[in-house]
Amino acid sequence: MLFAAVDAAATSAAFAAAYFTRRGMTLHYEFYILRNIVEVLVPACILIWVTLGFWLQTYERLDLALPGRIAADTLRQCILGTAALVLFEYAARLELSRPFLAFLCGYDFLFLVVFRLNARKVIRAFRGFGKPYHVVIVGPALESERYGRTLVEGASFPVELTAVVPEDECIERLPRLLDQQIVDEIIFRIDSRRLVEFDEILELCDEEGVRTRLALDFLPQTNSSISLDQVGAERLLTFTAGPNDDLRLVVKRWIDVAVSATALIVLSPAMLLVALLIRFTSKGPVIFRQVRCGLNGRRFVFYKFRSMVEGAEALQADLAHLNRKQTAFKIPDDPRLTPVGRWLRKFSIDEWPQFFNVLKGDMSLVGPRPPLPQEVGNYQRWQRRRLRMRPGLTCLWAVRGRDQLDFESWMRMDMEYIDSWSLLLDFEILLRSVPQVISGQGAH
């Protein structure tokens, strides 16, 4: 909340600074904003910036992130905030000066990044306010005391370590401690093999309503998110290696259906023209069909406009020495491309039929690109996790270098996408894909 309040203040100050800077410039058009418009724009700016701060989870990382990450997060928030303000401007039929918007973005970035780089000092200053949060730690004495000190020093609010209780003394001491002391939370750092011995104590904590945490030493170190689910009468500890927010995944699917259906309708005249060009300039079918691997390895028929000569797959073995990728097969200036196909490939027009795959549910607009079954067979174990998300028309590595990147960079960026997936990230990738595709940059 402190960071959100600072964002509101910094955005208001940036708005004023941008306004007066633009007013002081002698350009062709005189610039001013009527007071009643300012009374709408400033709250809109504050709402946009603060909403993005929460949505991008910027505030959660400020007291822990490295300076480079803080600056990158702040820049992304300011750019997206300015873009949202432009959309608001068009929706409200306002006309704002482009230099003013640029100054607003620049000043806001400057004010926010200066504050955020000093966020830890601010947090320390605020830690003295408010009543302390009382914590009891159960576990090995020396290790628990060290952990307790880390907890007290690292918390962004006052924390008091009420007691450290050794495992062997827990059953005797903890009930008395709960009766005599203020205890907001108990953290059990115990050997998992002794959990059964603590059933009675855990039940006591439950009856008392005290918040309880278990540091479990038997859980593996994984990239998966962990949740406790109720399935029938049983409680299951669930490890999820991909996004598991059902509501957001449903929204992602709705967007896929809406955009792909609209794209097929809008592009249908151009697709017909492309089909005729392919038909009359080279032998073979207009649509190239190939089996690819989708979500969790499900196989589906993948559609593209044919960009190569007929029988191109049979020629692959003869061209293997030209392959520049590990596992995947990619050749710069592939000799199998037809003249029309080279043009289709450069501007990704050959990918348009994949909107049918998106509409059918085999693919999504954004996600790891669908691999061939033989490629999956050559994956290293860690690379198979990219199959845990529906494949997409475009992906993270497509906007960070496209075919110029090596295969392992593709894989690592796919993992990065899966681990940090959000609807906003999808939107960013789609926006960045448009100029990449129009320019034909990085395509082979």
Could you tell me if 328 and 423 are in contact, meaning their C-beta atoms sit under 8 angstroms apart?
A: no
Question: Average pLDDT of 113-136?
Answer: 76
What is the reported pTM? 0.61
Side chain identity, residue 34: L
Residues in the chain: 444
35-55 and 67-91 helices cross at what angle (nearest 10)? 140
Measured from the Cβ of residue 147, the count of other Cβ atoms closer than 10 Å reads 18
Check whether 108 has a pLDDT greater than 70: yes
Contacts (Cβ under 8 Å, ≥6 apart) of 1? none
**Would the pLDDT of 442 be above 60?**
no
Predicted confidence at residue 8, as pLDDT, reads: 92
Q: What token pair was written down for 356?
A: 């049918």
For the chain, give every domain's residue range: 2-123, 130-218, 246-439
CA atoms within 13 A on the CB side of 52: 24
Please name the residues in contact with 393: beta carbons below 8 A apart, sequence gap of 6 or more: 351, 354, 355, 358, 363, 364, 365, 366
Q: Hey, CA dihedral for 207, 213, 216, 222, is it positive or negative?
A: positive
Per DSSP (E only), the strands in 107-256 are 133-138, 159-165, 185-188, 211-214, 225-231, 234-240
Report, as an integer, the average pLDDT of 234-244: 75
Has residue 323 got a pLDDT over 70? no
Task: List pLDDT tens digits, range 264-285.
Answer: 999 999 999 999 999 999 888 9
More confident residue, 223 or 22: 22
Q: How many CB atoms lie within 10 A of CB 295?
A: 18
| Per-residue model confidence as pLDDT tens digits over 326-382 | 566 666 667 788 889 888 888 889 999 999 999 999 999 999 999 999 888 888 888
User: Residues 373, 377, 378, 384: what is their CA dihedral angle, to the nearest 10 degrees?
Assistant: 90
Highest mean predicted confidence (pLDDT) among 120-124, 129-133, 195-199: 195-199
Least confident of 33-37, 175-179, 349-353, 429-433: 33-37
Fold adopted by 130-218: Rossmann fold (3.40.50)
Asked whether the beta carbons of 324 and 410 are under 8 A apart, the reply is no
Widest CA span of the chain, in angstroms? 89
Contact 12, 42 (CB under 8 A): yes
Burial of 382 (0-12, 13-18, 19+ CB in 10 A): exposed
- Tell me whether residue 57 is exposed, middle or buried, using C-beta atoms within 10 angstroms of its C-beta: 0 to 12, 13 to 18, 19 or more: exposed
Query: pLDDT for 25-59, tens place per residue?
Result: 776 777 777 888 888 888 989 999 998 888 887 87
Alpha carbon distance 279, 142 (integer Å): 77
d(CA 323, CA 406): 11
pLDDT, average across residues 390-407: 83
% of the chain with per-residue pLDDT over 90: 24
Q: Examine the pLDDT at 146 and tell me if it is beyond 90.
A: no
DSSP letter at 392? E
Mean pLDDT confidence for 108-127: 79
- CA nearest neighbour of 3 among 62, 76, 75: 62
Nearest to 227 by CA among 211, 210, 246: 246
Distance in angstroms (rounded) separating the CA atoms of residues 20 and 30? 12
pLDDT tier for residue 263 given thresholds of 50, 70 and 90: very high
Rounded to whole angstroms, the Cα distance separating 174 from 185 reads: 12
In angstroms, the CA 366 to CA 425 distance is 9
Average pLDDT, the chain: 83
Q: How far is CA 382 from the centre of its chain?
A: 20
Least confident of 128-132, 195-199, 272-276: 128-132
Q: Residue 332: what pLDDT?
A: 64
